[in-house]
Amino acid sequence: MKIAVCIKRVPDSETRVKIAADGKSLDEAGVKFILNPYDEFAVEEALRQKEKAGAGEVVVIALGPPAAQETIRTALAMGADRGVLLQTQGLHADGLETARALAAELKDNEFDLILLGKMAIDDYNHQVGPMVAELLDLPCVTTVAHLEIAAGKATAEREIEGGVEVVEFSLPAVLTTDKGLNEPRYPALKGIMAAKKKPLEVKPTTPGPGALAIVSLTLPPERQAGKIVGEGSAAVAELVRLLREEAKVL
Amino acid sequence: MIPARYQPPLPLDRLLLPVGAPGAGDRMELDVLIVGAGPAGLACAIELAHLAQRDRTDVNIGVLEKAEALGEHSLSGAVVNPRAFRELFPDVKDADFPFRGPVERERVALLTARRAFTLPTPPTMHNAGNYVASLCEIVRWLGERATALGVNLFTGFPAASLLVNGRRVMGVRTTATGLDREGGRLSNYMAPNDLLAKVTALAEGTRGSLSQAWLDWQGVTSENPQIFALGVKEIWETKRPLDAIVHTLGWPIPTDAFGGSFMYPLEPKLVALGLVVGLDYRDAALDVHELLQRMKRHPLFRRHLEGGELVEWGAKTIPEGGYYAVPARRSGDGVVILGDSAGFVDVPSLKGIHYAMQSGMFAARAIYAGLRAGDASAAGLAEYDRLVNASFIMSDLYRTRNMRLAFKDGFYVGGVKAGLMTVTGGRFPGRKIAVEPDANVERTLTPGASPGITPDRRHTLSKVDGVFKSGNATRDTIPKHLVIGSDVPAAVAEFYAHMCPAGVYEVVQGALRVNAPNCVDCKATDVLGPRWTPREGGSGPKYKRM
């Protein structure tokens, strides 16, 4: 089984976000970058499907700055076979342009399965997976929480509001992965050593300008300090009064 | 109460394993294995790679690091003497080293509860020519250099045991990953790895567990036992700029304890500050974290912190024994011990980073010569000890050999003695001042002596908030990594609760409760109480600019 996984280098979720002087990008000084956590599920699932099929190849593809090579190495250390970096200068806001660049790389390679995280934790766009599917004219299943592939037929489960949706589809297909799909493996020592020698192709890429531009970024307003109304049952009446009169939520 | 009575012995059965012991997954062979990616370990790796490059030979070097990413377990003040950097990177200008800026002004102050009296800067504490830096940033920079030279860095892999054969160190076994609280295997379980090498360099930092095990096993002693201090540190974004490095003595540390504070500008409005107290303190209720919180209310600090924001918190012990606590030898069959693990710290000048790096470079030269001669035996690696003994590392430590030790009799007596030592260039009092291990120092619990503080979360914070600000996100379900003595009375439990800056120990209805995931690997517990053992890779703090 030949599987492509599209991954993204994102700031660690523990990052204390600072906005750069231009007012519309992240100040990257001292920020630790990681493999997007939702993409980790995609990489893990690709490895499991390849292991189950007994043969195949897992290719990881990233669009991003030169430093995204480290992110690809992380996926290679987990067990992916080779990597492709579509190397850009800086980050790109426009999901469609990102999808176009990825689709161009994917289209002539005859992958059985194309996996992406359901979203990147930095921009929360949820766009690129479905757009890649559309550009390649392939079926698309988003937010996959369980996946079975047998004899060319695939079944996915999606956790939707209040229940589970079961979807059947044929391969090739594009899937976006959700938390709960699997427990991503830690890179093994041997995997880290081997990753250094796995092929990583760097292709300079210039995505189009796109139709979206980030105008400004602002931090959420600072949270006001809480108020302790009192203790024990005596405080209940006062709490109810405040919720009704001050917070106006009752 | 004598803490040693309640301290379990070093778990040698876990720390030393015969090579080939069952239970390992992958096995890997290297020429040189370095345990710990701090300044000592990385300088050793870089110097080795330089030597191999010079001779166009191949040396396969691996560095194990327990933190998830480089620098995340590194914490220091820090004001750095650049001499080891200059020797390791002769072609790099000072301005290109990972320092925040040169020391331009310095002040030493004696504090009372409300006032600060500027003191003449003691000669040992002059920092002209030195640089303010973050050790996390230094470690990341060194790591990049090492990677570029072909060194294999394995972050997230703590070394759990030394693998030995006869008297020879053969390598290490890493910790397992993916165990639940009872030791059962989770779906992402990974077995320990065995790494075998011709030479293993132990650069574990302060209170290294494998270093302790090797010294104990081989019966290598020192003239004095190693003693430690605990430092708690915070980083603040401030409204008011700081233009000098500041050290203080006196309040809020009781006069029968040894310690002091520091406040350094990383940037004019980004300030590192901390409080360091020797673990030979007498009052069982002394709490370094709490003293630091109280200290921040003093006008000297408050002036800078008012309106600012705490961005990071951390804690670490420091080996303070100096010259007489350095082990008689730091090399053996297939092994060398570097940096803080060997005790290369000079307390009077508050320096350790350049000694750590220099010891790593000396070790690299001895290891490289040994590999070329096919001799990684104790005799071959003894060259490392000779290089260290003949260097500024040991002559600096010798000059100030008794200064820290004089303070075991309290602040005032110690201050007078240390003054005489400075005037006489270390010749007073002429002989070694003997000390006991910190765990043997009698403690007294005076009820009500330490009123405690209620953190306001703006200027002062609780231990739990501190752990959060250390970036510690260790999962709650990992096995306990602290080995507790069997009968811990309530008074001792209370002593642990005060001693631990991360709130790992709590007294709940007179009994000890252990919140092991809080642990930030400062190792104070290992010095005075429950033993610390390595846990799953990536556990513990995630320091950014400490």
Q: Which residue ranges make up each domain of chain B?
A: 28-93+136-179+190-222+326-390, 99-132+226-321+443-532
As a whole number of angstroms, the distance between CA B119 and CA B423 comes to 16
Whether chain B has a CB inside 8 Å of the CB on A219: the answer is no
Nearest to B167 by CA among B339, B23, B379, B387: B379
Fill in the DSSP letter of residue B31. E
pLDDT at A227: 80
A184 chain-B contacts, CB cut-off 8 A: 188
A193 chain-B contacts, CB cut-off 8 A: 28, 152
Give the pairing type, strands B228-237 and B61-65.
unpaired
Mutation site for A-interface testing, chosen from B134, B235, B266, B544 by largest number of A Cβ within 10 Å: B544
The CATH number of domain B28-93+136-179+190-222+326-390 is 3.40.50.2000: no
Angle between helices B39-54 and B353-372 (to 10 degrees): 40
For residues A132 and A245, membership in a common domain is answered with no
Is the predicted pLDDT of residue B449 greater than 70, yes or no?
A: no
**Assembly ipTM:** 0.84
Q: Tell me if residue B516 falls in helix, strand or coil.
A: helix
Stretch B296-311: mean pLDDT = 94
Extract the tokens encoding B21.
């012991």
CATH number of this structure's domain B99-132+226-321+443-532: 3.30.9.90
- Subunit contact B154:A192, Cβ cutoff 8 A: yes
Is the predicted pLDDT of residue B448 greater than 70, yes or no?
A: no
B537 chain-A contacts, CB cut-off 8 A: 186
Tell me the pLDDT band of B408, cut-offs 50, 70 and 90.
confident
The CA-to-CA distance between both ends of chain B, in Å, stands at 34
pLDDT at B481: 95
Instruction: Judge contact between B286 and B254, C-beta under 8 A.
Output: yes
Residue A31 lies in a domain: yes
The residue type found at B92 is V
- Give B489-505 pLDDT, tens digit per residue: 999 999 999 999 999 99
For residues A200 and A224, membership in a common domain is answered with no
Tell me the pLDDT band of B513, cut-offs 50, 70 and 90.
very high
What value does the mean pLDDT of chain B take? Answer: 94
Which ranges constitute the DSSP H helices of B207-317? 209-217, 288-295, 299-305
B69 chain-A contacts, CB cut-off 8 A: 32
User: What is the sign, positive or negative, of the torsion defined by CA atoms of B59, B152, B339, B77?
Assistant: positive
- Return the bridge partners of B35, or none: B64, B202
Stretch B431-457: mean pLDDT = 84
Stretch B263-290: mean pLDDT = 95
The single residue listed with the structure tokens 């850009």 is A88
Tell me the pLDDT band of B450, cut-offs 50, 70 and 90.
low
- Quote the number of domains for chain A: 2
- Give B151-168 pLDDT, tens digit per residue: 999 999 999 999 999 999
As a whole number of angstroms, the distance between CA B176 and CA A183 comes to 17
Instruction: State how far the alpha carbon of A216 is from the alpha carbons of A20, A23, A98, B32, B537, in Å.
Output: 10, 6, 20, 51, 39
For residues A118 and A239, membership in a common domain is answered with no
Whether chain B has a CB inside 8 Å of the CB on A37: the answer is no
User: What is the sign, positive or negative, of the torsion defined by CA atoms of B104, B110, B112, B117?
Assistant: negative
For residue A228, the enclosing domain spans: 220-250
pLDDT at B510: 85
Instruction: Judge contact between A73 and A14, C-beta under 8 A.
Output: no
Which of A242-246, B22-26, B365-369, B508-512 has maximum average pLDDT?
Answer: B365-369
Residue A170 lies in a domain: yes
As a whole number of angstroms, the distance between CA B362 and CA B203 comes to 13
Pick from A30, A32, A188: CB nearest B26: A188
CATH of the domain at A143: 3.40.50.620
For residues A135 and A22, membership in a common domain is answered with yes
pLDDT at A150: 87
- The strand ranges marked E within B19-74 are 27-35, 61-65
- Give B453-477 pLDDT, tens digit per residue: 888 878 899 999 999 999 999 999 9
Least confident of A23-32, A112-121, B284-293, B308-317: A23-32
B415 vs B461, residue with greater confidence: B461
For residues A168 and A232, membership in a common domain is answered with no
Residue A214 lies in a domain: no
Nearest to B258 by CA among B47, B404, B379: B404
pLDDT at B259: 93
Extract the tokens encoding A92.
């790109």
Residues 302-361 of B with CB under 8 A from A: 311
For residues A8 and A61, membership in a common domain is answered with yes
Residue A210 lies in a domain: no
Residue A181 lies in a domain: yes
Residue A209 lies in a domain: no
For residues A183 and A226, membership in a common domain is answered with no
For residues A230 and A145, membership in a common domain is answered with no
Residue A21 lies in a domain: yes
Is the predicted pLDDT of residue B173 greater than 80, yes or no?
A: yes
For residues A118 and A196, membership in a common domain is answered with yes
- Subunit contact B188:A185, Cβ cutoff 8 A: yes
Rg (CA), chain A: 22
Instruction: Judge contact between B214 and B47, C-beta under 8 A.
Output: no
Mutation site for A-interface testing, chosen from B65, B74, B188, B309 by largest number of A Cβ within 10 Å: B188
- Subunit contact A188:B193, Cβ cutoff 8 A: yes
As a whole number of angstroms, the distance between CA A148 and CA B30 comes to 41
For residues A7 and A118, membership in a common domain is answered with yes
Per-residue pLDDT of chain A (250 residues; tens, 9 = 90+): 999 999 999 999 888 888 999 998 888 888 889 999 999 999 999 999 999 999 999 999 999 999 999 999 999 999 999 999 999 987 767 899 999 999 999 998 899 999 999 999 998 999 999 999 999 999 999 999 999 998 778 999 999 999 999 999 999 999 999 999 999 998 899 999 999 999 999 999 999 888 888 899 998 887 777 888 888 888 898 899 999 988 888 8
pLDDT at B451: 65
Whether chain B has a CB inside 8 Å of the CB on A193: the answer is yes
| pLDDT above 70: percentage of residues in chain B | 99
Instruction: Judge contact between A8 and B465, C-beta under 8 A.
Output: no
For residues A197 and A77, membership in a common domain is answered with yes
As a whole number of angstroms, the distance between CA B13 and CA B11 comes to 6
Stretch B56-82: mean pLDDT = 96
Residue A238 lies in a domain: yes
Instruction: Judge contact between B253 and B259, C-beta under 8 A.
Output: yes
Tell me the pLDDT band of B389, cut-offs 50, 70 and 90.
very high
Is the predicted pLDDT of residue B347 greater than 80, yes or no?
A: yes
Pick from A14, A16, A183: CB nearest B188: A183
Extract the tokens encoding B143.
């790591």
Instruction: Judge contact between B296 and B305, C-beta under 8 A.
Output: yes
Closest residue, chain B, to A77 (C-alpha): B154
Overall pTM > 0.80: yes
For residues A184 and A113, membership in a common domain is answered with yes
Q: Tell me if residue A163 falls in helix, strand or coil.
A: strand
